[in-house]
Amino acid sequence: MDMMVHAAAHVPETGKAAILLSRARAATAAVLPRLAGIEPDRLVSLAVELPEALEETACAGDTRWRAPGGELRLDALGGAVEFSGADAAERFRAARERWLCLGDERAAPLAFFTLPPATETPAPRLRVPGVLLRRDAGGTHLVLSARRGVETPAALAETWLGMLAAFLAPAGVAAGPSRILACAAEPAAEAWCARVERTRQAIAAGRFAKAVLARRLRASLSRRADIPALTRRLAAMHPDCHVIALPHGKARVVAATPERLAIKQGEAIVCHALAGTARRHGGAADDARAAAALLASAKERREHALVVDAIAARMAGFCAAVAPVPEPAILALRHVQHLWTTLAGELRPGVDILEAARLLHPTPAVLGQPAAAAAGWLAELGEQRDGLYTGVAGWIDRAGDGDAVVVLRSACIEDDAAVLWAGAGIMADSDPAAELAETDLKLATMLEALGTAL
């Protein structure tokens, strides 16, 4: 065990990090005999329950997930195993069937996954993190994962503790809050409004019913962005959103997204439809009037119905039963409020959250309707999306359960540069100026958080 102690020697020997590391050392020592009997090329995880006192342990992870209301918090680092390409889902499913979890069985190990933007072919990428700190109603757990190779059990344990040491390494003191120095929109407001008008005319000509146009905003920051501070600020400002941060090439994608594509537990799945937008106001009475006007708007209700009907039709393809669709409600966020419908279904055997997300994505809320005609129109306009904007991010556990969200109200950040995205659903009776204002409201989510970080 001397090697394992050495691997974690640079972590401070006092405080929460030291306690966590000590528990991990004891847990890895306890499972060494079992590790010896595990055949090579098998994915293995070790789950360790942690006391409440360690719940707020600082960490230097590359991935963060904050579900609304604090129902689930995930912090992770590294990739024990990764899958990408056309057959990624199949290879991950095969690995999942042989995935062994040691230690506390209540803490299900998991993989993070992404699907690309709505304008691209939805090929998944999956990554099982080497270190995962999971906090939910079941408590706080540390999960260490690796692919079993030909190394000795002691060497595998050393790898786990080395990854944990990197995860717990102090991130350093920030130089001060960031400021936005300059912004440039692509396309500019006038050109984007012209695109909206062209799209309206194409809809009137019967080419499609709806298309979603996006705007990109490039921002220069006064210093390198502090991603942990940014996610903390977003979670505090937008408690009804999923706040996520994950690697994307050399950059990090950060989002406070209001749109949960689907959540699966057992055979039950719930999908969310979000379309139709109104501004939030300063007072409760004004907000209530705006919400009532949103519910009464023929244009917004038609846009919302397109999304609901498309999701319900797709759910029928992989669900044994779909519950009746309720009337839309209002989801009130910091800057805007949306028409919001939840759809529930009973899954057919063998459908996991990744497969459900792949079959649902992209919805008309982020692409248009019909999908092929809308995609063709966006290609004709030359619209391209990057930074995972209108893609999907999610997690999936060994049982195939998990959560998936649409990447909206997002920024792709590298050092002191950020690319922000926002879009609007264009219908035949859309007003270009109003749609432009809607994108400004959506961009405010990230602009406000980037302007001054906690």
Q: What is the pLDDT of residue 176?
A: 60
Domain with CATH 3.60.120.10 in the chain: 180-451
Nearest Cα to 227, choosing from 249, 247, 197? 247
**pLDDT tens digit string along 334-393?**
888 999 999 999 999 999 999 999 999 999 999 999 999 999 999 999 998 999 999 999
Q: What is the pLDDT of residue 452?
A: 53
Q: What is the pLDDT of residue 50?
A: 86
CA–CA gap between residue 217 and residue 203 (Å, rounded): 26
Of the given ranges (117-121, 281-285, 385-389), which has the lowest mean pLDDT?
281-285
Please tell me which residue in 210, 355, 383, 435 is annotated as part of the active site: 210
CA–CA gap between residue 383 and residue 103 (Å, rounded): 49
CA distances 412 to 244, 357, 446, Å, are: 12, 22, 11
Mean predicted confidence (pLDDT) in 57-61: 77
Tokens 């006038």 -> residue: 190
HSE of 100, CA atoms in CB hemisphere, 13 A: 15
CA distances 302 to 220, 294, 296, 298, 429, Å, are: 38, 11, 11, 6, 11
Q: Has 49 been annotated as catalytic? A: no
- Pull the structure tokens for residue 228: 């942990």
Count the residues in the chain. 454
Tokens 């056309």 -> residue: 86
Tokens 């705007």 -> residue: 215
Q: What is the pLDDT of residue 107?
A: 82
Tokens 């057992």 -> residue: 266
Q: What is the pLDDT of residue 54?
A: 63
Mean predicted confidence (pLDDT) in 116-126: 89
Nearest Cα to 264, choosing from 163, 347, 179? 347
CA distances 216 to 231, 255, 422, 423, Å, are: 21, 14, 7, 9
**pLDDT tens digit string along 236-280?**
999 999 999 999 999 999 999 999 999 999 999 999 999 888 888
CA–CA gap between residue 156 and residue 136 (Å, rounded): 28
Please tell me which residue in 158, 259, 300, 383 is annotated as part of the active site: 259
Whether 63 contacts 78, CB under 8 Å: no
CATH of domain 180-451: 3.60.120.10
Q: Has 210 been annotated as catalytic? A: yes
Q: What is the pLDDT of residue 297?
A: 93
Angle between helices 189-204 and 371-381 (to 10 degrees): 140
Kindly report the number of other CB atoms within 10 A of residue 121's CB atom. Answer: 7
Mean predicted confidence (pLDDT) in 178-206: 93
Confidence band, pLDDT 50/70/90 cuts, at residue 4: very low
